[in-house]
Structure 1
Amino acid sequence: MTKQILAKENIFLEVSLNDKEEAIRYTGDILVRNGYVEESYVEKMLEREEVTSTFIGNNVAIPHGTEDAKTAVKETGLSVVTVPEGVDFGGGNIAKILIGIAGKGNEHLEVLSKIAIVCSDESNIEKLVNAKSEEDIISMFDEVN
């Protein structure tokens, strides 16, 4: 049985994080704890950040592993963390929404497409940051087809 890509237990609201390393570890640890990836995936997420920032603009960062991290992915999954105070991803790039992603094969491409659609609209970012429940976040991504 395949896991739900974005489940309630993958979402954490109003988290306070000190820096991007802590943010990436936090996002990755959710994926580890809930069985989407092996522990080694988190280190590959940090490696990816050293190569190129996963900050995509609009207060959003999408931490994910390097290409060679695919072997550590058990199931495609997302973790979503809201950080209302923001966390600096360098160069003044403040992320208030962290979306950890692990993709099995090419399954992540469809997931990335949904993320891009939701996160390209500034009013959606505001709704995500201010979400009061995990269901609020899930419904925003479910609305995109």
Structure 2
Amino acid sequence: MKELFEYLKLNNLTISSCESFTGGYFSNEITNITGASNYYKGGFVCYSDEFKTKVLGVDIEVIKKYGVVSFETLNEMLDKTHEMLKTDIVFAFTGFATPIDNNPQSGISYVGFKIKNKNYIFEFKETKNLTREEYKKNSCEFIINKLLNL
């Protein structure tokens, strides 16, 4: 997270977030850094489908057709958050966090960011039975590394 913060400072960029399975983990981690308010403008914790559609404005037909955990839904989450918060970078997360159970999609998530009006979306998958907090941490580190390596 500190590498992301340094990148934001160096480039004078603002960020926001739209979190589902991470439940505010990303926001918490960035706001634990002194001076984060200069770069982090806010975010949404949209855990339910109802919040995603009624507050954020994700098209219900996208969720019905592709599922709430999908490339398409994450794409909408990125776009809607950018429209509302107008930051330079938006991070978003939707998925089925661990522990691995009978759901064949357990451990599969879509994570991404929007920068310069382009969305970068990745499938994030864990097959190990991690705690939910470890899964959240790993997904945040994964997407931050993707941005920093761009």
| Greater relative contact order (Cα < 8 A, sep 6+) | 1
Look at both structures and tell me which one has the larger radius of gyration over its CA atoms. Answer: 2
TM-score range, shorter chain: 0.3 to 0.5
TM, length-normalised to structure 2: 0.40
